[in-house]
Structures are given as C-alpha cells and as structure tokens.
Amino acid sequence: MHLSLEELLEVRAGSGPRDAVEHAASCARCAEELAALRKIHAALTQLPAEAPRRDLFPAVLAQWEAERSRRRWLHLARAVASLAAVVAVAAAVRGGIVAWREAQTVRAAHALLLRSEALERELGSYRSGSVLSGRAARTVMEIEDRLALVDGQLAQLRPSRVPPREALRLWEQRVQLLDALVELHATRCTYAGL
C-alpha cells in the first residue's frame, strides 16, 4: 500500500513517522510522488511575492461605515417622521374631540336658554294677580329668591363663544327653578279650578 498525500507531505516536511520515511525511500511510486511534491514546493518558493498595488480594505471599510451611518440616519428620520405623524393624528383627534365637546356644550346651552324662555312665557301666563295661600306664597318667594341668586351669578360670568361648565350648571339650575315655579302655579290653578 502507498502513502497518502498527507503522509507524503509530512515526509517532505521532515515530520513524518519513521515507517513512512522508510516506505517512501523503498517504494518507487511514493518516491516519485515525493520528488514531484518537492519540485512543486521549490517552484512555489521561487515565485516573486506579489502584493496588491494598493490596500483596498480602508476604502471598503470607509464605504461600509458610510453606508451604516446613512442607514442609521434613515432609520432615525423614519422614527422622527412616524412620531410626528402620531403627534399630528393625536392633535387632530384631540382637536376634533374638543370641537365636538364645544359644539355639544353650545347646543346644551342653547337648549337650556330656549327652555328657560319658554318657561318664562308660561310663567307669565299664570301671573294674573290671583291670591296665593301663605304657604304657596312663601314657596314662590323662596324659589324666586334662588332664581334671582342664579341670575346674579350668570350675570357675573364673562360671555364667551363656548359657555363654561359653571354657566351650564347655572342655566340648568335656572330651568329647574322655573320649572318648579310653573309646576307650583299649574298645580294651584288646577286645584282652584276644581
């Protein structure tokens, strides 16, 4: 059996086992292979050392770092644009909600104002100078005093496009008080008509 290429290379390098060296010396075919390997090795060592005309690694590294930096800025720009879009959408939604709430408040205030006017007209139809019992007169007086207090508080509020919550609360109280007065007069008229 002949030596493998690895064993022949070990023999050529001088580090092969003793039995492989003896076989290479005694076997013509293995000796011939060993001589060819030595010849190739000698030819390779005679070749001039070649180096690239210039080192391309710094240029490749610089290009890679520039591309990496560009990608980072691109990712950062996308993140900032996304954040700006989220903020814009949130502001638009918030603005829409605020506008909707303002519109609801204005509608509620307008409805309370119309109801108040209607109750005032109805109340005017009941005030015909008829005599009230002491108890009824006292109740009417208490309600009218509270109504005057609410009207005074409403007069102190600054007018604005959108009435504040306090104004809505006061208008609601005013409507409730007027409603109570109308109810009192309507009930008294009903009893008087019996």
CA distance 92 to 131: 60
CA distance 11 to 18: 9
Average pLDDT over residues 5-34: 87
pTM value? Answer: 0.47
pLDDT band at 92 (very low <50, low <70, confident <90, very high): confident
Q: What per-residue confidence (pLDDT) applies to 174?
A: 92
pLDDT in tens, 147-194: 999 988 888 877 765 567 788 888 899 999 999 988 887 776 545 444
Tell me the C-alpha to C-alpha distance, in Å, between residue 171 and each of 27, 69, 113, 141: 121, 63, 7, 19
Instruction: Please return the burial class of 119, using the count of CB atoms within 10 Å of its CB with bins 0-12, 13-18 and 19+.
Output: buried
Handedness of CA 128, 133, 137, 139 (dihedral sign): negative
Q: What letters, b where the CB count within 10 A reaches 16 and e where it falls short, cover 29-67?
A: ebbebbeebeeeeeeeeeeeeeeeeeeeeeeeeeeeeee
pLDDT in tens, 29-72: 988 988 998 898 888 888 888 877 778 888 888 899 999 999 99
CA distance 184 to 193: 14
